[in-house]
Chains A and B, each alone.
Chain A
Amino acid sequence: MSTAVKVEHVFKTFQSGKTQIEALKDISFDVSKGELFGLIGPDGAGKTTLFRILTTLMIANKGNAWVDGLEVMGDYKEIRKRVGYMPGRFSLYQDLTVEENLSFFATLFNTSLEENYDLVKDIYVQIEPFKTRRAGALSGGMKQKLALSCALIHSPNVLFLDEPTTGVDAVSRQEFWELLRKLQLQGITIVVSTPYMDEASLCDRVALMQDGKIMDIDSPKGITGKFKKPLWAMSSADMYKLMHDLRADERIDTCYPFGQHHHITFKDDHQEVNPIENFLIDKGHKGLSIEKIEPTIEDCFMELMNR
């Protein structure tokens, strides 16, 4: 069996007052054993609901799912022994020390820190100097590492991490992804969600989610490879005016601010760039820079959203 997670046509609706919210609409995907799989999408895309179904905490209205070869409904007791889960708002027990938190979660799974020390060693050595400190007094990055250790302590086959990097600074995020890579080398299947598109490229494969649907599933390269239109990055001294002028022009299809540049696609794929440049110079733009670029996951995500 080389499939670690299998999801088939899963639907999930919630009743909120009088309205029905469709959190998941026909979700299907597979994750292979040992894969680092990303669910990329904004808040409200349905990532958390999907995680809860996979960790047996919720039941799908329609469709079915299997984790580590076990059906999420019938075999939920067995699945709970085999998966590690780090929920999005997971904040540990603030009033317990690092060590106590870890021992608690270890005993919850009938194991101990000593038994699985090798597995969490890489992470734990970083927080070990603070082991007598209360979790509430740890920094964001440390808390996140402790939470990961807690989710790993029973040596799970599949690890579900719901937005582990939200609210953590860039350095800690980078270290966190490095840790995930190391875990992957130990054969653990990892399903991770994030609202941050730049993290998508760190996964083997990603599912781009929006409004309870999966818009595309592929490797990051595969996804950006599907972006067929030529993409241009433009900048000038007055970025705000540049955006206005471009959006007002009928040759332009999309113009999105992208940090220091605007990313632009033309309605006609064969549109020459020189006339546009001249048009902008005529409009009085100074320090103009126009460059053809490779699309990012975020460009693709927006393109898929607009379809």
Chain B
Amino acid sequence: MKQFLYFIRKEFYHLLRDRRTLFILFGMPVTQILIFGFALTNEVKNSRIAILDNSKDEATKTIIHQLEASRYFDIVEYLHSYAELEPTFQEGKIRLAVVFPEQFQASLLHTNAAPIQLIADATDPNVANTLTNYASAIIMDYQSAMKETQDFPYTITTELRMLYNPQLKGSYNFVPGVMAMVLMLVGAMMTSISIVREKELGTMEVILASPIVPINVIIAKMVPYLLLSMVNIASILLLSVFVLDVPINGSLSLLVFECFLFTLTALALGLLISSISDSQQVAMLVSLMGLFLPTIMFSGFMFPVENMPIPLQVLSNLVPAKWFYYIVKDVMIKGTGLETVWKETLILFGMLIFLLTISIKKFKVRLE
């Protein structure tokens, strides 16, 4: 036992003395969360818009008020006629104009339908798209609020995405994605590198020629990175909740348990990589190409898996990060419990057992 504990202590020395790597390992989740949360988000904030209200009634006032209250829009102009629209766009003063027809509230109350025209500057189609989406969402909100109070007949509104993200927050998707990425990187890459480094140094030869049981070597190598990963999870969750305002809707202990499970899977993958690599360079490349890229591509957090060709969809099932991403999205954002994610959890668990078994079997007690 003392032997094992000292081995772990030694691993911590390595980890703590390589300041630069340590800094990257702790800094990475923080920067990634911040980059994805703020810089790379497809949210468009404080966009300048104009209003052309031809109706000027109760309903339009409420909607305009809600648009103004949202942090996505700044109303910079109140226009008086269609003629003013074009010059305002051309001067670049606004990116979106909201046009209410005459008799807006009246037609809404009588026919249960009233058009609102959203005119966007589509020179940047993505921004235009996002802005119209935001504006529609706010209008839909109003509509559904009206329904509840005034007992209007049932109408179908809103798309699925907005159900869980009423403010259309981009960060919601990124948080589970970044978690998967960071855990994969820290777990798999760092573990494999730390084992392969000993092979390169030649110390592995001495360790193998000593009476220590190989399984102890493996576990001792994993412990520091398991701990480091848990610290990273904590920092990601804290940043999400307190900086990005992404709440944890489900059970925190379930979330932590799932993270723990996924981290172990990553560590087992790292172990497997170390047994097939002879140099740190190879270990790093295999981890990056074999794990990191699939995590980004196939977990669904960058590109929706449903839109991929069938063979790729099938392939994506092999990527542990995909299941983890589902789980975290469900538990953290939708706030559901084990009853909805037990299948994914079982899959991850199966993967862990499988990987651990072959990597321990492959871990050689000899040099060849």
Using a CB–CB cutoff of 8 Å, the interface residues on chain A facing chain B are: 52, 55-59, 76-77, 80-81, 83, 85-96, 100, 103-105, 107-110, 150-151
Give the complex CA separation of A52 and B204 in angstroms. Answer: 12
When chains A and B are docked, how far (Å) is the Cα of A102 from the Cα of B6? 12
Given A52-B367, A80-B211, A95-B13, also A90-B206 (CB < 8 A): yes
Query: Are B209 and A80 in contact, with the CB atoms below 8 A?
Result: yes
Of A95, A109, A110, which contacts B14 at CB under 8 A? A95
B2 within 8 A of A: yes
CB atoms of A104 and B6 under 8 A apart:
yes
B367 near A93 (CB under 8 angstroms)?
A: no
User: What CA separation (Å) do A89 and B367 show in the bound complex?
Assistant: 14
> A58–B366 contact, CB under 8 A?
yes
Question: Which residue of the partner chain, among B10, B202, B365, contacts A90 with CB atoms under 8 Å?
Answer: B202
Knowing A57-B367, A80-B209, the reply to whether A110 touches B2 (Cβ < 8 A) is yes
Beyond A90-B203, A108-B6, A108-B212, 20 additional contacts (C-beta under 8 Å) are: A80-B209, A85-B206, A87-B205, A90-B202, A90-B206, A91-B203, A93-B10, A93-B14, A95-B13, A95-B14, A95-B18, A96-B14, A100-B13, A103-B6, A104-B6, A105-B206, A107-B7, A108-B207, A110-B211, A150-B206
Are the C-beta atoms of B206 and A77 separated by less than 8 Å? no
Contact of B208 among A57, A90, A95 (CB under 8 A): A57
CB pairs A–B below 8 angstroms (8 shown): A57-B366, A93-B13, A100-B13, A103-B6, A104-B10, A108-B206, A109-B210, A151-B206
Which one of A80, A83, A96, A107 has the highest number of Cβ atoms from chain B below 10 Å of its Cβ?
Answer: A107
Q: Once the chains bind, are B17 and A95 in contact (CB under 8 Å)?
A: yes
Most-contacted residue by chain A among B2, B203, B209 (CB, 10 A) = B209
Inside 8 A of B14's CB, which chain A residues have their CB? 93, 95-96
Q: Are A57 and B205 in contact (CB under 8 A)?
A: yes
Query: Complex Cα distance A77/B365, Å?
Result: 10
CB contacts (< 8 Å) of A86 on chain B: these are 206
B91 to chain A: closest CB distance in Å? Answer: 62
Contact residues, B327-368 vs A (CB, 8 A): 365-368
Residues of B near A85 (CB, < 8 A) are: 205-206, 209
A304 to B78 alpha-carbon distance, docked (Å): 103
Do A91 and B208 touch across chains, with their CB atoms under 8 A apart?
A: no
Total number of residue pairs linking A and B with CB closer than 8 Å: 82
Closest to A134 in B: B17
B-side contacts of A94, CB under 8 Å? 201
- Verify if B149 is at the interface (C-beta below 8 Å from A): no
CB pair A107–B2 under 8 Å, yes or no, is yes
- Give the one of A57, A91, A100 with max B CB within 10 A: A57
Partner of A87, one of B6, B13, B202, B365: B202
Chain B residues near A105: list those with CB within 8 A: 206, 210
B203 near A92 with CB under 8 A, answer yes
B1-30 interface (Cβ within 8 A of A)? 2-3, 6-7, 10, 13-14, 17-18
Q: Find out whether the CB atom of A80 lies under 8 angstroms from the CB atom of B210.
A: yes
CB-based closest 3 A-B pairs: A107-B6, A89-B202, A57-B367
B209: which of A59, A83, A92, A110 is its contact (CB, 8 Å)? A83
Closest chain-A Cβ to B196's Cβ sits at a distance in Å of: 15
B366 & A59 in contact (Cβ 8 Å cutoff):
yes
Cβ distance B190 to chain A, nearest Cβ, rounded Å? 15
Complex Cα gap A88–B208 (Å): 15
> CB-CB < 8 A to B201: which residues of A?
89, 91-94
Contacts of A80 in B (CB 8 A): 209-211
Q: Are A56 and B366 in contact (CB under 8 A)?
A: yes
* Whole-angstrom CA separation of A90 from B367 in the bound complex: 15
Nearest-Cβ distance from residue B164 to partner chain A, whole angstroms: 47
* Residue of B whose beta carbon sits closest to that of A93: B203
Q: How far is the CA of A109 from the CA of B3 in the complex (A)?
A: 8
| Docked pose: A87 CA to B205 CA in angstroms | 7
Q: What residues of A have a CB within 8 angstroms of the CB of B205 in the complex?
A: 52, 55, 57, 85, 87, 90
Task: Give residues 207-225 of B contacting A (CB, 8 Å).
Answer: 207-212
Q: Which residues from A are CB-within-8-Å of B212? A: 108
Q: How far is the CA of A103 from the CA of B10 in the complex (A)?
A: 10
> In angstroms, how far is the closest chain B Cβ from the Cβ of A41?
20
Residues of B close to A57: CB separation below 8 A: 205, 208-209, 366-367
- Whether the pair A100, B206 counts as a contact (CB closer than 8 A) is no
CB distance from B15 to the nearest CB of A (A): 10
- B46: min CB distance to chain A, Å: 49
- What residues of B have a CB within 8 angstroms of the CB of A88 in the complex? 202
**A96, closest chain B residue (CB):** B13
Instruction: Let me know if B206 and A91 touch, CB within 8 A.
Output: no
CA gap between A107 and B365 in the complex, in Å: 19
A192 to chain B, nearest CB (A): 16
Residues of B with C-beta under 8 A to A108: 3, 6-7, 206-207, 210-212
Are A96's CB and B209's CB within 8 A?
no
CA distance A88 to B201 in the complex (A): 11
Report how far A122 CA is from B13 CA in the complex, Å: 28
In the assembled complex, which residues on chain B have CB atoms less than 8 Å from the CB atom of A107? 2-3, 6-7
Closest partner residue, chain B, to A52 (CB atom): B367
**B18: chain A residues within 8 A (beta carbon):** 95
